[in-house]
Amino acid sequence: MKQWLTIISLSGLLTLMPQPVVASQLGQDQSIIVDGLKRHYSLHLPKNRENEKNLPLMIVLHGAKGSYKKSEGFTGMNDVADQGGFIVTYPNAYHKQWNDGRLPGDTPSYKVDDIHFLLTLMNQLEKKYQTDASRVYLVGFSSGGMMTQRFAMEQPGKVAAIAPIASSIPVPLMNKVTNKGVQPKLPMPVMMVNGTHDPAFPWEGGKTRFAGIRVGQVSPIETTLNYWLTVNGGQQGNVESALLPEKVHDGTQVEERIYHTHAGPEVVLYKITGGGHSWPGAKYPATYLPRFLYGKTSQQMNGSAAAWDFLKQYRRLSI
């Protein structure tokens, strides 16, 4: 029996024009004590379905120097949750960066057990809101994207599918899993979104710094892609490749690549030619830094809507 079932649901596209985010549009501030640390997160229940049980849960992880409120605002994921009927939560990293598989000098959260934090948060939300444990999804930006991938490697039975955006696998983590032959025990559906002009996560990989933030050494995008293909038993058949229709003239072009695998789950890569370190279709930039530092934010696709359209297909049958 395959590990996943297709889930049929509807989700619309979000407006691509930047707009302010008012307090009423943001979720509820919450906190939880994990390993003696007070951890914060925001929670959004889908409109008109607040009292329903067995809803999917999406966890969105912010980038380095970011925050849960900031990612809740620029992603517009609450709107997608209202249309798609899922609960979305935005946890806060303890030192504004996650313990995402990098070296001690590259993240101040090296000694923070973020795996335990996310597991505890999942369990608490499942008990309080009776979420569907077979439909838990992780989405992450930058450092949050690396954390998303680390969690999927170490806890594949707890997440149905992941969508790392503007990130790749850090080299120390990649060395750990490849040199020691450590692989997730279950296949994993993955949707990647990467820009060819991302200064923090270069397409060719390498040791990087981004606007004074030490990122460390990151794997090439193609190496990260190939890792997840290997996890899923290798590529099966030809790649389905297509350019998305141009919506606006913003100097970017999006190619969708769909890789079918022997294990069943798809690995999808959205290659944004000309795209920078950004969340495509964001309501406003993912960083307050000048645009020349982080590059272009593509408006050819809506990253949040695309993530949900991909993730909602999958249900984890082995918990």
Residues β-bridged to residue 243: 255
Residues 192 and 195: their CA atoms lie apart, in Å, by 10
Tens-place pLDDT, residues 231-271: 999 999 999 999 999 999 999 999 999 999 999 999 999 99
Cβ(239)–Cβ(268) below 8 Å: no
187 phi-psi bin (left φ>0, alpha ψ -120 to 50, beta other): beta
- Give residue 168's identity as a one-letter amino acid code: S
Distance of CA 31 to the CA centre of its chain: 22
Confidence of residue 291 (pLDDT cuts 50, 70, 90): low
Query: What separation in angstroms does the CA of 229 have from each of 154, 206, 232, 242?
Result: 17, 21, 5, 19
Joined together, the tokens standing for residue 119 give: 């597991």
**Which of 32-41, 144-153, 201-210 has the weakest average pLDDT?**
201-210
- CA contacts within 13 A on the Cβ side of 118: 31
Q: Supply the pLDDT for residue 292.
A: 58
For every residue of 120-138, DSSP letters joined together read HHHHHHHHHH---TT-EEE
Distance CA 174, CA 141 (A): 18
Round to whole Å and give the CA distance between 152 and 118.
11
Query: Which residues lie closer than 8 Å to 82 by C-beta, 6 or more apart?
Result: 46, 47, 48
Q: How far apart are CA 285 and CA 14, in angstroms?
A: 16
Range scoring the smallest mean pLDDT among 32-36, 83-87, 186-190, 313-317? 313-317
Determine the CATH number of domain 31-311.
Answer: 3.40.50.1820
Helices (H), the chain: 68-75, 77-84, 114-129, 143-154, 171-179, 221-231, 291-294, 303-311
pLDDT tens-digit map of 19-37: 333 333 456 789 999 999 9
